[in-house]
Amino acid sequence: MAVTIRDVARQAQVSVSTVSRALSAPGLVKEATRQRVLDVVAGLGYQPNRAARSLITGRTGNLGIVVPDLENPFFPSVLRGVQTRAGEAGTSVFFCDSREDPETEAELVRTMAPQVDGVVLCASLLTDDQITDLADLTPLVLINRIVPGVSSVLMDSALGMDLVIAHLESLGHKDYVYLGGPAAAWSNNRRLQGLAGRAQLLGSFEPNFTGGYAAAEQALKTNATAFIAYNDLMALGVLSYLAEHGVQVPQQISVTGFDDILYAAMCSPALTTIAMPTEEAGKVAVDLLASRLDGGPAEVRELPTKLVIRASTRKHPMSA
C-alpha cells in the first residue's frame, strides 16, 4: 500500500492531525513543526489519498467539462485553457463530448455530478430549464450561454457580427446572407441579434463542414454576394462547395466565419473570421467555478472578440 498520513506522523513524531493541518491549514501549526512534517512528506513522497479526503470534505478536487464536438478545434482550445488553470490549482479535469446531442449532454452532466465539484458546459444545447435543473446537481459555469442564476463566460458574438457586417459593407457588399447554426445554440441567436435584420437568415445547419457544404448550395440560390457562416467549420464547407462548383472566392463571393480556428488560416483562400479568446475563456470558466465554490455569487464575464481579415473577403464585384 502507498504511504499514508500515519507513516508521516510516526516519522515526524507528531499526530496525524498535525500532519493534516500542516498540509491543509498551514497557519494552525508552529512553523518549525510544519517544516519538519513537510520534510518527511517530501522524503516519503507522501500524497494524501483523495478518496479519503473527499469522503470527509465532500469535495472531489475534480471538475468536469462537456463540449458538443471535440473535433471542432474551437473546443480543444477551450479545454486547454481549462486544463491549464485547473492544473495550477491541483484540480483534475474530467472531459466529455456530447456529440451535439442535448440528451447526451444532460446525461453526461448527471453522471459527472457526483464525482466533480462543478461542471463547465460549453455551447450548451439544453434549454434554460434543463440547465437550471442541472445546476441544482452541481455548480455550473456556462461558456457562450446565459441562464439566470448561473455563471457564464461569453465571447461576444453580437459584437463579432457587427464587425463582420461593417467589414463587408466597407467592401461595398449590400446583399449578404447568414448561414445559421443550431437553433438551440445561444451563440447562434446572439449572432442573429448582431445581424439585426441587416442580412437574411438562411436556415439552420449542422455547425460543421457538412453543414456548411449544404448551406452553400442554398446560399447560391440567393443573390447575396457575401456568405456569413455560423462558424469556421461551416465556412470551410462553404469554400469547398464553392470551389467544386467553380465559384471563385473572393472574386465572385466573399465568405466569412466565426471562431478563427487553426484551419481558418490554413485553408485556401484563408478565411476572414472573428477570433475568439477560447483559451482565455477556459481559464476564466475555471476561475468562476472556483469563486462559486468559495461561496461567491454567480457571475457573467464577457470577453472581447476581434475581426481577422484574410483572403476570403473582397470588394463587391459590382461596386465602384
User: Whose Cβ is closer to DNA: residue 1's or residue 318's?
Assistant: 1
| Exposure string for 195-233, b = 16+ CB within 10 A, e = fewer | beeebeebebbbbbbebbbbbbeebbeeebbbbbbbbbb
Nearer to DNA, 38 or 311 (CB): 38
146 secondary structure, DSSP code? -
The nearer residue to DNA, 25 or 318, going by C-beta atoms, is 25
| 35 is an interface residue for DNA by CB under 7 A | no
140's grid cell:
455550473
42 binding DNA? (CB under 7 A): no
For residues 251 and 256, give the distance between their C-alpha atoms in angstroms, rounded to a whole number: 14
Determine the Cα–Cα distance for residues 68 and 123; give it in Å rounded to an integer: 7
Task: Report the b/e string of 40-78 with b at 16+ CB within 10 A.
Answer: bbeeeebebeeeebeeeeeebbbbbbbbbbeebbbbbbb
The 99-138 contact track toward a second copy, x by CB under 8 A, reads ------------xx-xx-----------------------
Site string for a second copy, 241-280 (x = CB under 8 A): --x------------------xx--xxx------------
List of residues contacting a second copy (CB under 8 A): 2, 47, 49-52, 54-55, 60, 62, 70-71, 73, 76-77, 79-80, 83, 92-97, 111-112, 114-115, 209, 236-237, 239-240, 243, 262-263, 266-268
List of residues contacting DNA (CB under 7 A): 1-2, 4-6, 13-21, 23-25, 28-34, 46-49, 52-53, 55-57
